């Protein structure tokens, strides 16, 4: 079988006797005409009046549309034309529509990347702004129920109507992406994001779980405090084809999408395996270690204590975030990172913690474009290819070792039943 690696594919040669199960995305029927479904939802949304009616009620003129960055593959060339046509029909001027890229603490997206995501026509017609979590002109909206201070992009205070867009997939500590994540972390200040993400150490902050999840609850509170007007989210399959579109009131529409996401991405298993072979799902999910860590976390759910994870992630942009890289370089052991995060939570350091809690329990082999010394600083074992890694686990566990294979590790979440 073939596994994605960057923009290419690599072949995995493994006898059937060694494959316990291939944990693929569950096949869902793809929408035959997603544009038409979205047009219908804009006029007949979930839990709210139509988009047109909402804009008239607020007498809104200035529209802010929150969109994902390059690390969250979202089919914007399908989603945005019906939305922009509807805004045009309502009488909103093009120059009064702004797009903000919900980067959180990720880097800015380049003009070339924006062109690839949205198309040259859109980025030349509308104003696209990369959010900056360290911008000194952030807008303060007071304290959340948790006590966290809510700092958001100043564009929020300069607009009449906010539309969130995104894709719903499992998230390793927020439960699921989409919905409220467009605000927190999407367009919040670094301190607000940092305080929110510090709750990732809570046992309820895990992939596929919303119940008593403090990260999710605070994100929802932030979204409500900002006052979002309309939400458009999609659930996609591995090829980024749309299997569901939801639109309307933020929480109600998003939760409907979450139910479809669960059926697509959560995979029940009856036992854990000695070995898990995992691909992130290729570019851009393996653009750097920062992004690829999600696949590691999901694979960890399926491996026995003391087992081995073989992670396939090209990581052309290296570690992907300076603070994360600094923490990994300064640590002498996984325990150093765990102690450090409990003493003081720092964004970027949270990714180091995500890796540390895995490598403390299991062995990780990384096949990537990174130099060996950088791989070892992650407490991973560097290897050149899958063949070398398979030989290694054969020697360790015997020729009859059992393995799960996760071709889309950044999104498929194994759940032990």
Q: Which positions are annotated as active-site residues?
A: 106, 171
Q: Each residue of 324-352: b (16+ CB within 10 Å) or e?
A: bbebbeebeebeebbebbeeebbbbbbbb
d(C-alpha 306, C-alpha 256), whole Å: 38
**222's tokens:** 């932030």
How far is CA 327 from each of CA 203, 294, 295, 359, rounded to the nearest angstrom?
23, 18, 20, 15
Round to whole Å and give the CA distance between 275 and 272. Answer: 9
Of the candidates 319, 331, 268, 284, the residue with the CA atom closest to the CA atom of residue 74 = 284
Angle at 186 between CA 244 and CA 171, to 5 degrees: 55
Q: Indicate the helix (H) or strand (E) that contains 231.
A: strand 230-236
| Residue 135 per-residue DSSP state | -
3-state secondary structure 179-203: HHHHCCCCCECHHHHHHHHHHHHCC
Closest CA to 258 of 117, 405, 152, 413: 413
Residue 178 CA to residue 250 CA, distance in Å, equals 10
DSSP tally for the chain: helices H, then strands E: 14, 20
Q: Are the CB atoms for 242 and 31 separated by under 8 Å?
A: yes
Contacts of 277 (CB under 8 A, 6+ apart): 3, 12, 14, 310, 312, 386, 389, 403, 404, 405, 406
Query: Token pair 């899958």 is at which residue?
Result: 386
Other CB atoms within a 10 A radius of the CB of residue 417 amount to 7
Helix (H) or strand (E) holding 115: helix 111-118
Closest residue by Cα to residue 249 from 22, 86, 56, 49: 49
- Sign for the pseudo-dihedral over CA of 69, 164, 407, 298: positive
Question: Distance between CA 319 and CA 366 in Å, rounded?
Answer: 13
Q: Which two tokens stand for residue 312?
A: 């396939």
């Amino acid at each position: 079988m073939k596994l994605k690696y960057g923009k290419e594919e690599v072949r995995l040669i493994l006898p059937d006797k060694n494959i316990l199960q291939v944990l693929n995305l569950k096949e869902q029927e793809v929408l035959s005409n997603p544009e038409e479904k979205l047009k219908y939802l804009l006029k007949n949304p979930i839990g709210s009046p139509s988009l047109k009616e909402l804009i008239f009620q607020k007498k809104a003129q200035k529209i802010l549309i929150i969109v994902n960055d390059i690390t969250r593959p979202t089919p914007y060339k399908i989603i945005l034309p019906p939305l922009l046509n509807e805004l045009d029909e309502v009488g909103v001027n093009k120059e009064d529509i702004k797009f903000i890229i919900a980067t959180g603490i990720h880097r800015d997206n380049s003009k070339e990347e924006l062109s690839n995501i949205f198309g040259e026509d859109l980025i030349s017609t509308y104003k696209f702004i990369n959010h900056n979590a360290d911008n000194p002109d952030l807008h303060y909206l007071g304290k959340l129920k948790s006590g966290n201070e809510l700092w958001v992009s100043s564009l929020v205070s300069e607009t009449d109507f906010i539309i969130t867009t995104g894709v719903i997939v499992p998230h390793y500590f927020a439960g699921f992406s989409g919905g409220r994540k467009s605000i927190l972390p999407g367009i919040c200040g670094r301190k607000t994001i940092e305080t929110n993400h510090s709750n990732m150490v809570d046992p309820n902050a895990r992939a596929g779980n919303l119940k008593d999840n403090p990260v999710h609850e605070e994100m929802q509170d932030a979204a409500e405090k900002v006052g979002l007007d309309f939400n458009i989210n999609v659930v996609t399959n591995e090829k980024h084809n749309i299997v569901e579109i939801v639109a309307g009131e933020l929480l109600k529409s998003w939760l409907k999408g979450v139910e479809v996401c669960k059926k697509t991405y959560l995979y029940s298993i009856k036992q854990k395996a000695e070995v898990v072979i995992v691909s992130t799902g290729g570019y851009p999910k393996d653009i750097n270690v920062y992004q690829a860590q999600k696949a590691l976390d999901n694979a960890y759910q399926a491996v026995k204590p003391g087992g081995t994870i073989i992670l396939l992630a090209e990581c052309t942009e290296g570690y992907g975030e300076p603070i994360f890289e600094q923490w990994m370089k300064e640590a002498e052991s996984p325990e150093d990172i765990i102690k450090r995060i409990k003493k003081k939570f720092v964004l970027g350091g949270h990714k180091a913690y995500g890796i540390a809690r895995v490598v403390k329990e299991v062995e990780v082999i990384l096949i990537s474009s990174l130099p060996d010394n950088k791989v070892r600083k992650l407490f991973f074992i560097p290897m050149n290819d899958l063949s070398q890694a398979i030989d290694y686990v054969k020697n360790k566990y015997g020729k009859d070792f059992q393995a799960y294979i996760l071709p889309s590790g950044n999104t498929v979440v194994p759940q032990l039943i």
